Structure 1
Amino acid sequence: MTRSVRKGTKRAQTVSEIQELLARARRTNIGLMHMISLALHLGLRRKEDLMCPRDLQMWLDAPMHGESSIPLMRGAKKARPRDAGMVQSNRQDTIEAIRSALTYCQEHDFELITGSGKALKSAMNRLKALLRRAGMVGQVSFHSLRYTYALTAASEMLDCGIAPYEILVQLSESMGHGPTRAQMILEHYCQPIKIRIEGHISLP
C-alpha cells in the first residue's frame, strides 16, 4: 500500500500565527476555536476532535488524577484507541482548553460542530467549510496543528534529556501511528529540529 507523502505539504505554525488563527476562529465559529485549541494541545486529527465531546469530562479528570496523557476513544484512524500525551510545559493550558471545550459542549448538546440532522458526515462537511473560512488551507490546514504539537512536544523532551529515539517512539504512539514510525516522525513532524536528533540515533 502506498503511503501518503507529507514532506513539504504541512508545517508547524508559529506562536503569532496560532494567536491570529484562534482570533479568526473565534470570529468564525466558537466550536471551531475550541477544536483548534484541543488539536493544538493534544495533536488530534479532525475526526477525533469532532467526536470527542462525550469524552471531555474523562479527559479533564485524567490530569486531575495525575495522568500525563488522555485516553482517546472515538474517531481514531482504523479505530485504534490511544493515549494522547500532554506537553508538560503546557499542562495547565491543556487543562483549560479541555475545560473550556467541555463547558461549551454542555451548552450545545455535546457537539463542537453541528451538521444538519446531527449526522457526522454533515458535521464534517460543515467543519471543512469553516476551516476554509478561517484560512486553514494548504501548509496551515488543520493537520498543521499536529505538526505544531509534535514539534513542541519533541523540543520539550529533548530539553529534558530524553533519548532522541525514545522521543520519536513516544510521539509516534501518542499521535496514533504506533511505535514503528519513528523515521516518518523525524522526517516530517520533526523536520525543523532534525539536526538536534540526527547523529544521536540509529533507526531500524
Structure 2
Amino acid sequence: MKQSTLTSFMQAALNEGKKSTRTRAERHAFYADLEAFAKARRFSDLTPANLTRRQLQQYVEHAQARGVSHRSIQNRLAHIRVALRGVGLGAKAESKEWSNDAFGVASLRGDRVGKHRAVTEIELTAAQAHAGALGDRGMEFIVLSALQRCLGLRAQEAIQAAGSLAAWERCLVQNRPITVSEGTKGGRARTAVVPEGLRERALIAVRAAQDLAQRHGGKLVDASSLKAARDRYRHTCAACGLVGEVASHGLRYAWAQDRYRAYQREGFAPAEAVRRLSEDLGHGSGRGRYVRMVYLRGMRDEA
C-alpha cells in the first residue's frame, strides 16, 4: 500500500530519532503543506526518496510567493534534510546542491543574532513587583521567571520543571550540576553548572517552585494543557513587562552571561569558557560562535 507524502516524510524523519512534541508538530504541518503543494502540481507519489531538487526549488518559490519568512523556509529545508537522512540519503542532504544557499535562502548577516537581550536585575525586579497584583498568575510568573534566571531555562523547560525540582534541590545543596530533561529543545537532556554566585538564589527559586507545584497538584502553571500553560505564561510575561526585546528568554541570556563570567574567574580561556557555556545551554560544544554571537551579545569585549 502506497504511503501519502505526509506519512512517508514523517516516517523518514522518525527514522532519524524522536524529537520534541513541538518539533514533530512543526514537521507535520510542513509535510502536510508539502503534500498539498505536490497534489496541486501533480507530483505523483512524492516521497523523500524520489524528491527532486527542481521540485523542492518550486516549493521554495511557492512559499516565498505566499510570504513565508526567510527563516521559516530555512527551517522547512532542515526538515527536508532530516527526511533525506532518514531514508539513507545523508550525502545528498549535506551536498552543496541541497544547501540553503543553493535554494536562495542562505543566512543573512545578523539572521541568527535574535531579537532578545539579557534582562537586567532592575527589569526583573520591576516585573516581579508588578506580578504581585496578578494573583495566582502573578505567583506563577514570579516562580517561573526566577527558575529561568537562576538556572538558565527556556520558558517551556521552566513550565515543565515540576518533576525535576526535588532532584535539582539535592544537586544544588550538594553543589553538583543539575540535569534538565523536561521540555528541552529536541528532547535532548543536558547538564548545567549553576554559578556559585547564583546557587543560593537558585535554591530559593527551586523551593518556591516546589511549594507552588504542591498547591497546583503537581503543576507549575494552572492550565489544562501544555499549550495553554505556554500561552498563560507568555501573556503574564507581557502583562508584567517582559515582552519583545526583553521577553522571558532574555532571562536565559542573563544566566548565560553570569555563567560565562564565572568560567573566566575560574581561569578558563575565552574559547574554553564559551565551549563549556554552549554545553550548559544545551547547544553542544560545537556551537561556540553562535553562543558568543547570541547569548554574549553586548559583552563581546569580555568574550
| TM-score of the superposed pair, with normalisation by structure 2 | 0.60
Matched, 1:12 2:134: no
Matched, 1:113 2:201: no
Query: Structure 2: which amino acid aligns with 1:146?
Result: R
Give the distance between the partners of 1:8 and 1:129, measured in 2 at CA. 20
SS in 2 for 1:103: helix
Give the distance between the partners of 1:22 and 1:175, measured in 2 at CA. 24
Corresponding residue for residue 44 of structure 1: 153
Deviates more, 1:92-101 or 1:186-195: 186-195
Which of 206, 210, 230 is equivalent to 1:102? 210
Task: Name the Cα RMSD after superposition.
Answer: 1.8
Give the distance between the partners of 2:217 and 2:230, measured in 1 at CA. 17
Mapped contact 1:26–1:32 kept (Cα < 8 A):
no
Which of 181, 186, 190 is equivalent to 2:287? 181
SS in 2 for 1:128: helix
Mapped contact 2:148–2:251 kept (Cα < 8 A):
yes
Give the distance between the partners of 2:259 and 2:216, measured in 1 at CA. 31
Give the distance between the partners of 2:184 and 2:237, measured in 1 at CA. 20
Which of 56, 74, 83 is equivalent to 2:191? 83
Give the distance between the partners of 1:195 and 1:185, measured in 2 at CA. 15
Mapped contact 2:117–2:297 kept (Cα < 8 A):
no
Give the distance between the partners of 2:114 and 2:164, measured in 1 at CA. 33
Correspondence 1:157-196 to 2 at 5 A? 157-196=263-302
Corresponding residue for residue 202 of structure 1: none
Which of 35, 44, 57 is equivalent to 2:166? 57
- Rg (Cα) greater in structure: 2
How far does the alpha carbon of each residue in 1:164-198 deviate from its partner, in whole angstroms, 9 at most, with x for none?
A: 1111111111111111110011111112221223x
Q: How far off is 1:44 after superposition?
A: 0.6
Deviates more, 1:188-197 or 1:71-80: 188-197
How far does the alpha carbon of each residue in 1:68-112 deviate from its partner, in whole angstroms, 9 at most, with x for none?
A: x21111110000001122111111111111111111211221212
Give the distance between the partners of 2:185 and 2:165, measured in 1 at CA. 19
SS in 1 for 2:191: strand
Query: Structure 1: which amino acid aligns with 2:191?
Result: D
SS in 2 for 1:187: helix
Give the distance between the partners of 2:196 and 2:124, measured in 1 at CA. 19
Which of 115, 127, 143 is equivalent to 2:249? 143
Q: Structure 1 residues 135, 66: closer, same or farther in 2, change over 3 A?
A: closer
Mapped contact 2:242–2:248 kept (Cα < 8 A):
yes
How far does the alpha carbon of each residue in 1:4-51 deviate from its partner, in whole angstroms, 9 at most, with x for none?
A: 934261111222112112212333310111000000011111111110
Which of 218, 228, 234 is equivalent to 1:128? 234
Give the distance between the partners of 2:229 and 2:195, measured in 1 at CA. 29
**5+ unaligned residues in a row in structure 1: which ranges?**
198-204
| TM-score of the superposed pair, with normalisation by structure 1 | 0.88
Mapped contact 2:161–2:182 kept (Cα < 8 A):
yes
Q: How far off is 1:140 after superposition?
A: 0.4
**5+ unaligned residues in a row in structure 2: which ranges?**
1-73, 76-106
Q: Structure 1 residues 10, 87: closer, same or farther in 2, change over 3 A?
A: same
Q: How far off is 1:54 after superposition?
A: 1.5
Query: Structure 1: which amino acid aligns with 2:266?
Result: C
* Identity across the alignment (%): 28
Give the distance between the partners of 1:47 and 1:111, measured in 2 at CA. 13
Give the distance between the partners of 1:33 and 1:5, measured in 2 at CA. 32
How far does the alpha carbon of each residue in 1:113-136 deviate from its partner, in whole angstroms, 9 at most, with x for none?
A: 121xx2111211222221221121
